[in-house]
Structure 1
Amino acid sequence: MERLVAAQAGDGGGEAPRAAVRRPGEDGDGSRDGSRDGGGGGRRRIPRTDVLLRDPRLEAAARRLGAGLVKAAVRQAQERARAGRIAPEEVADAAAALLPRTAGGLRPVINATGVLLHTNLGRAPLSAAARQAVQDAAGPTDVELDLRTGVRARRGRTALRALRDRVPSAAAAHVVNNGAAALVLAATALAAGREIVISRGEMVEIGDGFRLPDLLVSTGARLREVGTTNRTTAADYAAALGPDTAFVLKVHPSNFRITGFTRSAGVAELAALDVPVVVDIGSGLLAPHPRLPDEPDAETQLRAGAALVTASGDKLLGGPQCGLLLGEEDLVRRLARHPLARALRVDKLTLAALEATLTGPDTPTAAALAADPEQLMRRAGRLAADLGADGIDVRAVPSEATVGGGGAPGVALPSAALSLPEPYAARLRTGATPVVGRLEAGRCLLDLRAVPPEDDERLAGAVRSAAGR
């Protein structure tokens, strides 16, 4: 019987033992050869993993991404060679091409849906200033240290100052990890075991099955509903007030509209009542916006008499995910010192991105809102002409975009889009540069309002790849 000598063809960076003897029928990377290559001669030429990992490109990638991701790319490339889809000498190039851009699993996409704040795509894209601030804050920072005195300082003090500067009517500000958390903190600190008075028409569902009443009741507060779905007056609120009333809650029904025979009490009317008024504006608009005249903003609500305003940071503000609390100093201080505030606090990266959003140049969300429809149509026309010259079935068409993210319901933003055959939708989503559009009347539309002009070439390249050009 033939004597077999076991050998390990290392999967790591070390060389295989010099005395290794391969078992009959085993190729150089430790796998069995088969009949698909006519006898296994081609498979024997597939480079071993340890050899491939010494390729300078893959060595550099291992330092940047980690060995696990690089080995996974190498194995995928080897499998392609074993299946006969690439030649053995192309394995290293294929492995390098398969490497992810980052060690994280999230993939950057081009948002061509026409929804400016698409929840499934992470809502507001950060500005270049915010991205730089996040990168700078990734290492050690003075987030809770006064460098001048060497003693502990208030966490996020510069971001909070920037927030107050943008909302002059706010005597104080606090930041938590999302908009729902801001409302939960207010209800827990102010109304646990007590009553919150709220209109029946504002008992909303905020998405993904989360309902505002359930959220508030989970804090230990009781809800006192007043009025009807379509009509609630200040007198309805006044009649419901009692010794157990903690505050009146006014909620912007940001993802739907009720039209027709309607009535709702304004903040100024409610502020005349002898209890604090908390207003959840939702979308994070800090001041009035000319294109969104019916969208409530923090400054206006505080001037009207709101004691506290809560909002999201990753919607119309155009910043990172966070929850904003703005209002009276003693009220905000009470919330910030509540034990729950520690569990809801934001990290240094969020604080850095928020401050840069507040103090930096216009955000991508602001630019998208301000985009001129005629310029959008000219962009669409140029892209369609360039792609059409390559034989692609594409045309420029008028479109309508929306704010999304629970902001400005019913507001249509005139836009322009590239219209492609329906099969392009799946090809674009799964391409090397993922593009997410929308299907409309049997066509795939790529709306340009949320696509920055500097991404036009990337968008065109993705369409060409989807067309096989």
Structure 2
Amino acid sequence: MGQRPVAGATGEATARSAGGAPPADVRRRVPRTDTVLRDPRLAAAVDRLGADRVKAAVRQAQERARSGAVPPEQVPQTALDLLPGTASGLRPVINATGVLLHTNLGRAALSAAARQAVREAAGPTDVELDLTTGVRARRGRSALAALHARVPAAGDAHVVNNGAAALVLAATALAAGKEIVVSRGEMVEIGDGFRLPDLLVSTGARLREVGTTNRTTPADYAAAIGPDTGFVLKVHPSNFRITGFTRSAEAAELAGLGVPVVVDIGSGLLAPHPALPGEPDADTQLRAGAALVTASGDKLLGGPQCGLLLGRTELVRALARHPLARALRVDKLTLAALEATLTGPPTPTALALTAGPEALRARAERLAAALAADGIDVRAVDSAATVGGGGAPGVSLPSAALSLPETYARALRTGRVPVVGRLEAGRCLLDLRAVPPEDDDRLAEAVRSVRPAARGRA
């Protein structure tokens, strides 16, 4: 004779049938979709994310309740937990890699001023309209004026959609069907297999390589100049350095060759920076005789992704009038973010670059003490950060980090607030140089929230 269930017993012993599924009465208690959607929190989510996305989350939550994974009364909360923060698939991430301009994380973080400018520009704006006269005006004129003001040596400025596009426009407008003279030591490949020679040849220009990998002199360039020369190109080596027996020609040494000198500085530094004494900047290159400088806006400038062209007035205006310029132009949101970056307070990139090692260490020790008090295996350690994004190759920035067990790396990446660190010597390091101080509490909470998952993977 079988045993009878204990009176009033609940839980797994009685909540599931012999087949492992919840009993029918539990499944009948799963609320209807229209009932769930009347929850004020989900109604607000419909306004923010759209009805289809919210309904899909409700259906997932209902299925979890039918399978017994969550109680029926938890369906609304479960649906809310399944919803993203925004209608975009992109998720905000805390960059604790120690790489200030991490390409995989979108490079420069916009300042609060730039984010506000983007919000304000999201509706109709006067991007190409003079409100005083009511007639068409130069597109993005205030952003271009701000860029010109930051680089006084430039006669004019133009903006396209990224750094590579800036070089493509220059090569197409100035050297299609002609030669570009470039040093062999500057024929670089950067991330994701992107090769500079392939980009330049795609414009219809021919490459005239001079010098050797490690040594190229002004005489090498001069010997190659001829009637077919469109311009001389100087390229910042970006993510590598050549040391030892080397020689490279500077813009000032090439300015008298009788053809334009175009300098691709890459990293977007507009003026010299004391923390990066070896990094080329736009103003210095133009004062040295460069006819045109190209750069990226989302690197050391700390702004949105865009390509900057600065130089002689007649050259920049010729580029801006070229048919390709229309295909490469930026939208009003980029112009708004760029202008706010140029005229507003210091950017997150600038603040991260100048953060003092002592202040970083103090933050790390405070966070480590708070997390250790919660029983987490963590300690503050010295660290070394880098600029990234092709900027200042070989430059190490003293920093500080939280050191956690290796299992935290994946748990933090996949947590509700994703945190990306790096693995070093069998530990997960969360470098604080690229983490704004106002995000310290969010970082600590993210670590606490994934502790069970991290322990489960140990």
TM-score, structure 2 normalization: 0.94
Q: Which residue of 2 aligns with 1:70?
A: 54
Deviates more, 1:72-81 or 1:387-396: 72-81
1:145 is matched with which residue: 115, 125, 129?
A: 129
Q: Which residue of 2 aligns with 1:351?
A: 335
- Alignment: residue pair count: 437
2:40 is matched with which residue: 56, 60, 63?
A: 56
Q: Which residue of 1 aligns with 2:367?
A: 383
Q: Which residue of 2 aligns with 1:392?
A: 376
Per-residue CA deviations over 1:351-396 (Å, capped at 9, x if unaligned) read 0000000000000000000000011001000000000001000000
Q: Which residue of 1 aligns with 2:11?
A: none
1:203 aligns with 2:187: yes
Q: Which residue of 1 aligns with 2:9?
A: none
> How many angstroms apart in 1 are the aligned matches of 2:21 and 2:322?
69
Aligned-residue CA RMSD (Å): 1.1
Q: Is the 8 A contact 2:181 2:224 kept in 1?
A: yes
1:463 aligns with 2:447: yes
SS at match of 1:428: helix
Question: Residue type matched to 1:272 in 2?
Answer: G
Q: Which residue of 2 aligns with 1:186?
A: 170
Q: Which residue of 2 aligns with 1:443?
A: 427
Per-residue CA deviations over 1:91-141 (Å, capped at 9, x if unaligned) read 112112222110000000000000000000000000000000000000000
Q: Is the 8 A contact 1:34 1:40 kept in 2?
A: no
1:425 aligns with 2:409: yes
> How many angstroms apart in 2 are the aligned matches of 1:349 and 1:251?
29
Where do 1:111-260 residues align within 5 Å? 111-260=95-244
Question: Residue type matched to 1:366 in 2?
Answer: A
Question: Residue type matched to 2:318 in 1?
Answer: R
Shift of 1:206: 2.4
Question: Residue type matched to 1:241 in 2?
Answer: I
> How many angstroms apart in 2 are the aligned matches of 1:184 and 1:108?
31
> How many angstroms apart in 1 are the aligned matches of 2:380 and 2:430?
10
1:106 is matched with which residue: 90, 95, 98?
A: 90
1:370 aligns with 2:354: yes
Question: Residue type matched to 1:63 in 2?
Answer: D
Question: Residue type matched to 2:227 in 1?
Answer: P
Identical residues among aligned pairs (%): 81
Q: Is the 8 A contact 1:335 1:341 kept in 2?
A: yes
Q: Which residue of 2 aligns with 1:321?
A: 305
Shift of 1:34: 10
SS at match of 1:208: helix
2:294 is matched with which residue: 306, 310, 318?
A: 310
SS at match of 1:86: coil
1:290 aligns with 2:251: no
Shift of 1:73: 1.2
> How many angstroms apart in 2 are the aligned matches of 1:38 and 1:155?
63
Shift of 1:466: 1.2
> How many angstroms apart in 1 are the aligned matches of 2:22 and 2:317?
77
2:254 is matched with which residue: 270, 274, 282?
A: 270
> How many angstroms apart in 1 are the aligned matches of 2:86 and 2:60?
18
Shift of 1:38: 4.8
Deviates more, 1:49-58 or 1:219-228: 49-58
Q: Is the 8 A contact 2:22 2:67 kept in 1?
A: no
1:407 is matched with which residue: 374, 391, 410?
A: 391
Per-residue CA deviations over 1:169-195 (Å, capped at 9, x if unaligned) read 001000000000000000000000000
Q: Is the 8 A contact 1:43 1:81 kept in 2?
A: yes
Q: Is the 8 A contact 1:196 1:248 kept in 2?
A: yes
* Structure 1 unpaired stretches of 5+: 1-32
Per-residue CA deviations over 1:191-214 (Å, capped at 9, x if unaligned) read 000000000000001221110000
Q: Is the 8 A contact 1:398 1:416 kept in 2?
A: yes
Q: Is the 8 A contact 2:22 2:68 kept in 1?
A: no
Shift of 1:37: 4.0
Q: Which residue of 2 aligns with 1:36?
A: 20
> How many angstroms apart in 1 are the aligned matches of 2:310 and 2:190?
21
Shift of 1:83: 2.1
Q: Which residue of 2 aligns with 1:27?
A: none
Question: Residue type matched to 1:167 in 2?
Answer: V
